[in-house]
Homo-oligomer: A and B are copies of this chain.
């Protein structure tokens, strides 16, 4: 496996207008998002070699360029955005500047590392099952997945359209707010926090070292905000079900079915060369028993509606972004079903996916020198409130 330390697939300098609300900012673009005249390679060589150049910028890229930001290049990613490690069998592993021996996380790996390394001010990524939130946490930066459907995905290669979102990374909450507000066409919405709901399963199911690292965070939050504990059982009503894993059991059949519907015909007909882990991922998607779909879709809607009833317009839901610090490079094995790292990551990422909720991961702790983020989620459509409130939370943690 090549060991690239570079965030960028292709550097460039692209500026559309000199003035605008983002004119002081540079940015990078994940290689699943169109830049006119360039092939969107989706981080796989056979895809890149069999697809024509993009006819136009993706809508989200156009928004940033028209706001005056300068695009400095396209970034590496997990193949076809179907992965969470950042280890690409063809293009290597972008260096995680916060923890150089650890994976950056994916699939928006290069976008996260470019921001973390200070190479750009912000970066566009996509998040289906954690592809912004996880690398933001691993690299010690801010990352946001917006409410589903609010930022245009036109010109963005689809993976699982029921969960696909476009979002961004930045090193501080202020830049993230400027970029996401522009993409979402929203203004600032300062508001006092109603309740900060601490998700029991989100803390309990983290590794002991992560739980310990979050103890002072919880103390600080309790001193500053109206904190309350809550359990997923009050949302899903599943008696006896196993914590977060229950949400993965609802999320994964839908995600795999959608991925196979989206990319299966290309995989079957083009027979591309895939990295070993990616190949195994597509075998899982292909092998899914699609008779599971109706029950999973019904549970998804049940959970989504229950989350919508539970989370008030001034509430946040809160838990560690990931259960464990970023794994050592090369340690993850080839099969996501071996070991429990990927299933445990996906389980907590599934909450926002199922609920269509916006989620921010912001830098919070380090565990033996490796960053782990704090995640904040708001009600669907309350992205403006989340962006404002997250900065208040970050300020309280920094004090």
Q: A133 on the interface (CB 8 Å rule)?
A: no
Q: A48 on the interface (CB 8 Å rule)?
A: no
- Which residues of B sit under 8 angstroms from A57, Cβ to Cβ? 261, 290
Per-position binary interface string of chain A over residues 128-170, scored 1 when its CB falls under 8 Å from any chain B CB and 0 otherwise: 0000000000000000000011001111001011100000000
Q: A63 on the interface (CB 8 Å rule)?
A: yes
Q: Which of B55, B262, B269 contacts A261 (CB 8 A)?
A: B55
Q: A214 on the interface (CB 8 Å rule)?
A: no
- Which residues of B sit under 8 angstroms from A356, Cβ to Cβ? 149
How far is B269's CA from A267's CA once the two chains are assembled, in angstroms? 21
- Which residues of B sit under 8 angstroms from A184, Cβ to Cβ? 301
Contact of A154 with B161 at beta-carbon distance under 8 Å, contacts A56-B260, A67-B294, A265-B54 already known: yes
**Interface positions of A from 241 to 286, Cβ below 8 Å from B:** 254, 257-262, 264-269, 286
Nearest B residue to A302 by beta-carbon distance?
Answer: B185
Determine if B294 and A261 form an interchain contact, defined as CB atoms under 8 angstroms apart: no
Per-position binary interface string of chain A over residues 89-133, scored 1 when its CB falls under 8 Å from any chain B CB and 0 otherwise: 000000000000000000000000000000000000000000000
Q: Is the interface of A mostly helix, strand, loop or mixed?
A: helix
Q: A52 on the interface (CB 8 Å rule)?
A: yes
- Which residues of B sit under 8 angstroms from A55, Cβ to Cβ? 260-261, 264-265, 267-268, 286
Q: Which of B52, B254, B301 contacts A269 (CB 8 A)?
A: B52
Nearest B residue to A58 by beta-carbon distance?
Answer: B261
Nearest B residue to A381 by beta-carbon distance?
Answer: B308
Q: A300 on the interface (CB 8 Å rule)?
A: yes
Contact of A257 with B154 at beta-carbon distance under 8 Å, contacts A149-B148, A185-B301, A265-B51 already known: yes
How far is B300's CA from A243's CA once the two chains are assembled, in angstroms? 39
Report how many copies the assembly holds.
Answer: 2
**Interface positions of A from 285 to 302, Cβ below 8 Å from B:** 286, 290-291, 293-294, 297-298, 300-302
Q: A226 on the interface (CB 8 Å rule)?
A: no
Q: A53 on the interface (CB 8 Å rule)?
A: yes
- Which residues of B sit under 8 angstroms from A301, Cβ to Cβ? 184-186
Determine if B152 and A63 form an interchain contact, defined as CB atoms under 8 angstroms apart: no
Q: A34 on the interface (CB 8 Å rule)?
A: yes
How far is B79's CA from A20's CA once the two chains are assembled, in angstroms? 39
How far is B186's CA from A257's CA once the two chains are assembled, in angstroms? 21
How far is B158's CA from A54's CA once the two chains are assembled, in angstroms? 16
Q: A193 on the interface (CB 8 Å rule)?
A: no
Determine if A59 and B258 form an interchain contact, defined as CB atoms under 8 angstroms apart: yes
Q: Which of B59, B186, B291 contacts A293 (CB 8 A)?
A: B59
Give me 15 A-to-B residue pairs in the complex whose CB atoms sit less than 8 angstroms apart, sorted by A's number.
Answer: A52-B268, A53-B269, A54-B265, A55-B268, A56-B260, A59-B297, A63-B294, A152-B254, A152-B258, A154-B162, A154-B257, A154-B261, A155-B262, A161-B161, A185-B301
